[in-house]
Structure 1
Amino acid sequence: MRITGVKKWVAEFGYYNAIYVRIETDEGVVGESEVAMRRRTRTVCSLIDELGEYLIGKDPTRIEQHFERMYRDSFLGGTLLTIGISALDVALWDLNARALGVPVHRLLGGKFRDSVPVYTHARATETPELFAAEVADRLAKGFTAIKTTLPGFYTKVSSVHHEAPAAIPARHTETELLPNWIWGLVGEYFQAARDVAGPDVQLMLDCHGRLNVANSIRLAEALEPFNLTFIEEPTPPERPDWLVEVSRRSTTPIAAGERWASHYGAAPFLEQPAVAIAQPDVLFCGGITAARRIANLAETHGVSIAFHNPFGPLASAATWQLAATLPNFMISEAMLTPQQIKYWDMYTENPPVVSGGEWLVTDDPGLGPRLRVDEIVKHPFRVEYDQGGTR
């Protein structure tokens, strides 16, 4: 079997552009994947084209070899490289599993668990009361784990711009002065959430790297009474030693990892250790191949895996197929909001189904979903979704 073609399609996904990839072979077996950068879609598309040229004529069963060649032969690293590799790596895993008529998790060692727990999102919104209503809505939909963004820093926001003004400006740097009242405000939001959710619902906070070490410690102190499952990426992602200091001073577990490029990028954070919970993204770090290496490395350091995954059906399927096989997996992100979920059925056949806050592991061949290209092409790339403008 040889690879004969690599095709891609870009489609709008509510507030960002998704890239769908198909690898074709001379035996008619295909593999498919989904990635998204949100702010550099055209750059990633060009990279997929270039890496795809390398794959033409190659044996698709040599996944490890292809990962090594695409990573090392590119010379320069970083997530812009590994996102392109992810698109092709995930499609290769899908292709190989479909060629054998088995699910991807079978190729990864088989199921460690029969279901994959996931959490969803609730907007921080404009007031604690509105946030509590958002949390109540997610609970009514069967979720028992909910994450939000920093109150005061985010209210209603897309990848392009803040749709409602935030108390802290979008481009406020992590080293600029913050008002003293912000810590009390964050506490009011989580008090309102706890009043609605009770003590046993898992609540999490994503900071998007908006704070320095000192302010991250102040945040952790303010949130200690509310027993959060984790505080995600309180400091910018470049320095593991910053997170080491925050982790030492926080009773709440610190999580990070969505911006790691390959297992090499993850290693300094896991070895120090800088985090209690690792959050690699299968779409960002180099695909299933790299994410599995990160998970294995994390296990040797006693670190749990909580996959970053705010994307669509194929991205989720790839993430959860891997999650099903890992002994140190804890929970996965799932962006199952009304704004996004409509695209799952629109763009794929047999998308993953989450019920009661869990995905039941299936034995469908490959990743499970299949692309509906006829529908994808009706919703082309939107340049306004690729401008950036939020932190």
Structure 2
Amino acid sequence: MKITAVRQWAAEFGYYNAHYVRIETDAGVVGESEVGMRRRTRTVAALIEELGEYLVGKDPTRIEQHFERLYRDSFLGGTLLTIGISALDNALWDLNARDLGVPVHRLLGGKFRDEVPVYTHARATETPELFAAEIRDRLDSGFRAIKTTLPGFYTKVSSVHHEQPAAIPARLTETEPLPNWFWSLITEYFQAARDEAGPDVTLMLDCHGRLSVANAVRLAETLEPFGLAFIEEPVPYERADWLREVSQRSSTPIATGERWANHYGAAPFLENHAVSVAQPDVAWCGGITAAKRIAALAETQGVSVAFHNPFGPLASAAAWQLGATLPNFLMSESMITPEQLVFWDRYLENPPRVENGVWVVTDDPGLGPRLRVDEISKHPPRYDYDRNGTR
């Protein structure tokens, strides 16, 4: 069996552009995947095209060899490169599992669990009262784990701009001082959330790397009474030593990893005990091959895995198939809202379904879903999504 073509389609997905990939073979077996970026649509498309040229004529069963060649032969690394590799790697896993008539999790060692816990998002909104209402809506939808962004920094944000001016300016750098009222605001928001959710619902906070070490430590102290599962990216993601200092001074677990480029990018954070929760993105870090390596590194350091995954059904399927096999898996992110589910059903057949906060692991061949290429082609990418953006 040889690869005969690598095809791709970019499509609008509500607040970003999704990239769909199909690898075709002379045996008629195909593999499909999805990656997404809130920026750089044309750059990712060019990467997939160039990297895909290498695969044509190759044996699709040599996943590890192809991963190595795609990464090493590119010479320069980084997450933009590994997004392109992710698209091809995940499609190869799908192809090989479909050729054998088994789910991807069978190729990865089989199920460690029958259900994959999934969390969702609630907007920080303009007031603690509105935030509590957001929490209630997610609870009513069956979720028991909810993440939000920094109150004051974010209210309603698209991929392009803050749709409402934030109380903390969007371009404030981590080295600039925060106003004193911010700390009281944090307390008010999370007190409202706990009052609405009760003590047993899992709450998390994503900071998008917006704080200094000192402010991150103060944030952790402020949030300690509310029992968060983790604080995500409190400081800029590039510095493992900064994150390690925050982790050492915080009783709340610290998480990061969405911007890691494969296991080499993850290693300094894991080996230096900078995080308690690793958050690789299976559609960004180099695919299932890289994410599995990151999870193994994390396990050796006593670190759990909570996949970053704010994207669509095929990206979710890849993360959840792997999560089903990992002993140190905690949970996975999802962006399952009524607005997003429109695209799940439009672009794919048999998208994965989440009920009561879990995806029940299936035995459908490959990753499970199938592309509706005719429908995808009707919704071209929106390049205005690539215009600068929000921090």
Q: Same fold (TM over 0.5)?
A: yes
The residue aligned with 1:340 is: 340
Deviation >2 Å, runs of 4+: none
Alignment deviations for residues 119-176 of structure 1 (CA, whole Å, 9 cap, x no partner): 0000000000000000000000110000000000000001111011100111111101
C-alpha displacement of 1:291:
0.1
Amino acid in structure 2 at the alignment position of 1:132: A
Pair 1:307-2:301 in alignment:
no
| Cα distance in 2 for residues equivalent to 1:134 and 1:172 | 26
Report what 1:166 is aligned to.
Answer: 166
Cα separation, 1, equivalents of 2:274 and 2:32: 34
Inter-partner Cα distance in structure 2 for 1:281 and 1:183: 31
Q: Give the distance between the partners of 1:185 and 1:258, measured in 2 at CA.
A: 27
Percent identity, please. Answer: 80
Aligned to 1:179: 179
Residue of structure 2 equivalent to 1:353: 353
1:197-346 aligned within 5 A: 197-346=197-346
Measured on the aligned residues, the alpha-carbon RMSD in Å equals 0.5
CA distance in 1 between counterparts of 2:164 and 2:339 reads 17
What residue in structure 2 maps to residue 101 of structure 1? 101
Query: 2 CA distance for matches of 1:220 and 1:235?
Result: 12
Amino acid at match of 1:389: G
User: Is 1:112 aligned with 2:105?
Assistant: no
> Take 1:293 and 1:313, find their aligned partners in 2: how far apart are those partners?
23
Deviation, structure 1 residue 389 = 2.1
**SS of residue paired to 1:36:** strand
Distance of 1:118 and 1:240 partners within structure 2? 27
Name the SS of the counterpart of 2:274 in structure 1. coil
Supply the AA of the counterpart residue of 1:3: I
The match for 2:153 is 153
Distance 1:142 1:75 in 2: 46
In structure 1, distance between residues paired with 2:166 and 2:331: 29
Supply the distance in 1 between the matched residues of 2:374 and 2:184 (Cα, whole angstroms).
51
Q: What is the Cα deviation at residue 37 of structure 1?
A: 1.6
Tell me, which stretches of 5 or more residues in structure 1 are unaligned?
none
Q: Is the 8 A contact 2:41 2:383 kept in 1?
A: no
Distance, in Å, in 2 between the alignment partners of 1:52 and 1:8 is 10
CA distance in structure 1 between the partners assigned to 2:125 and 2:282 by the alignment? 29
CA distance in 2, matches of 1:177, 1:300: 38
> Letter of the aligned partner of 2:130 in structure 1?
L
User: Taking structure 2 as the reference length, what is the TM-score of the superposition?
Assistant: 0.99
Which residue is 1:30 aligned to? Answer: 30
Q: Deviations over 1:188-221 (max 9, x none)?
A: 1100000000000000000000001000001001
The alpha-carbon deviation at position 263 of structure 1 amounts to: 0.1
Look up the SS of the partner of 1:194 in the other structure. Answer: helix
> Residues 301-330 of structure 1, C-alpha deviation per residue, up to 9 Å, x if partnerless?
000000000000000000000000000000
Alignment match, 2:77: 77
Q: Spell out the pairing of 1:125-140 with structure 2 (5 A cutoff).
A: 125-140=125-140
Amino acid at match of 1:79: T
Gaps (5+ residues) in structure 2? Answer: none
Distance across 1 between alignment mates of 2:64 and 2:190: 44
Q: How many residues align?
A: 391
Deviations 1:318-354 (A, max 9, x none): 0000000000000100100122111101000000000
Q: Cα deviations across residues 57-91 of structure 1 (Å, max 9, x unaligned)?
A: 00000000000000000000000100000000000
Matches of 2:156 and 2:97, distance apart in 1: 40
| Cα distance between partner residues in 1 of 2:30 and 2:187 | 50
Provide the residue aligned with 2:365 in structure 1: 365
Q: Secondary structure in 1 aligned to 2:147?
A: strand
Q: 2 CA distance for matches of 1:140 and 1:62?
A: 45
Query: Which residue does 2:60 correspond to in 1?
Result: 60
**Aligned equivalents of 2:186, 2:259: Cα separation in 1:** 25
1:12 match: 12
Would you say the 8 A contact 2:39–2:389 is kept in 1? no
- The equivalent residue for 1:42 is 42
Task: State the secondary structure of the residue aligned to 1:119.
Answer: strand
Distance 2:257 2:193 in 1: 26
Tell me the distance in 1 between the aligned counterparts of 2:226 and 2:132. Answer: 14
Distance 2:61 2:253 in 1: 39
Shift of 1:386: 1.2
Distance apart, 1:388 and its partner CA: 2.7
CA distance in 1, matches of 2:138, 2:71: 40
* Matches of 2:221 and 2:151, distance apart in 1: 16
Whole-angstrom CA distance in 2 between matches of 1:322 and 1:187? 36
Whichever residue aligns with residue 79 of structure 2, its letter is T
* TM-superposed deviation, 1:2: 0.2
Tell me the distance in 2 between the aligned counterparts of 1:15 and 1:144. 25
Separation in 2, partners of 1:207, 1:287 = 25
Cα distance in structure 2, aligned partners of 1:338 and 1:40: 26
Q: Distance in 2 between matches of 1:297 and 1:41?
A: 31
